[in-house]
Amino acid sequence: NAPSPASSFQVNRFSKATKSFILRSSSLPSNVFYKNSVKNSVKNNFQETSIPRGGSVSSLHSTAGAQNEGTQKQLDTEALGKYALAAGIQMSLFTGAFKLLDVLIASIPAIDASSIPFPAVAFLFYATALKSRVFNPLNNQRPDRAKAVDGEKSAGFQDRVMPSWTPPGVFFPIMWLLIIGPIRAYTSALIFEANGNVFCDATLLSFIFHLTCGDVWNTINNSERRYGASVPGVICVVASVVFAATQYYAVDPFAGKLLGATGLWLVTASALIVDTWRLNPGPDGERDPLYPVVGEAKTEFEWFSSKE
């Protein structure tokens, strides 16, 4: 039987529709592949950017930001400038205070600088060594002594991953208060007598420079917790004590050797700082660069900061 005109029309219509579908479908695999690739990429990126343990969505955003930055960590030039300015202020204030002390002593006829008791001069330098940070505008906080003795967390001590060979907390106050402090005081008093009983003296100011380096380093390590920048910082502290010891040695060899001996403790502390840096990588899993990085901390002058 010959097909009717109606059935022929339906067959032709079906053939055209099938052909059109096949033609449209010929470009489908590439589009589907592209969409699936984008979908899988987003999914994989989300899975790889995991939320840190104990973190939140904000932690996820900061982690993603750190990954986007990659290895491009910008030098914090503002922080470097503030470190240098704070050191200059501290040195200037100490120089002015020592000069004023010399003038006051010279202006009182009843007092002769050479007659000042040695223990009094040593006590002055002991107080200077312990409280030098009062002339520094940065936040130079030290670890809390009581918490350190008890092994509790404090700024710069047990508030980060510490090396297994870290001495007990009670060891640090003993070293600074009973050994390092008295040595600094005694040797500086010797230089005061040997240099004509003058406080504002270039040799003694080299010791003040050593204290200044230590105060700025305390800001970097304890207050701001810049693990990378604290490494060259503590090396500067060691270099400054070597410089001060050579200046002392030129005036009084015994005083120079004794002050230089404190460098042995500082070298040990430096090794501790380097190991601490190694054990505390940043959010991206990499160790911090050996310089202050923008965003890892904010350097402020504590003298001018508002306290709530």
Mean pLDDT of all residues belonging to the chain: 78
Q: Is pLDDT above 50 for 305? A: yes
Residue among 56, 24, 222 nearest 142 (CA)? 222
Range with top average pLDDT, 33-37, 140-144, 182-186: 182-186
Q: Six-digit token pair at 190?
A: 């010797």
Residue among 136, 237, 117, 259 nearest 188 (CA)? 259
Q: Is the pTM of this model over 0.75?
A: no
Find the mean pLDDT for residues 185-206: 95
Identify the pLDDT of residue 43.
44
Identify the pLDDT of residue 146.
60
Identify the pLDDT of residue 44.
46
Decide if 215 contacts 140 (C-beta within 8 A). yes
Decide if 187 contacts 195 (C-beta within 8 A). no
113-137 tens-digit pLDDT? 888 999 999 999 999 999 999 999 9
Q: Is pLDDT above 60 for 300? A: yes
Find the mean pLDDT for residues 15-28: 50
More confident residue, 153 or 62: 153
SS3 assignment, position 154 = strand
Decide if 105 contacts 192 (C-beta within 8 A). no
- Phi, psi for residue 301 in degrees, rounded to 5: -80, 115
d(CA 230, CA 288): 10
Q: Is pLDDT above 80 for 246? A: yes
132-171 tens-digit pLDDT? 999 999 987 755 556 555 555 555 555 678 888 888 778 8
Residue 79's H or E segment, with its range, is helix 77-107
Residue among 299, 298, 295 nearest 66 (CA)? 295
Q: How many helices (H) and strands (E) does the chain have?
A: 11, 0
- Looking at residue 115, what DSSP letter applies? G
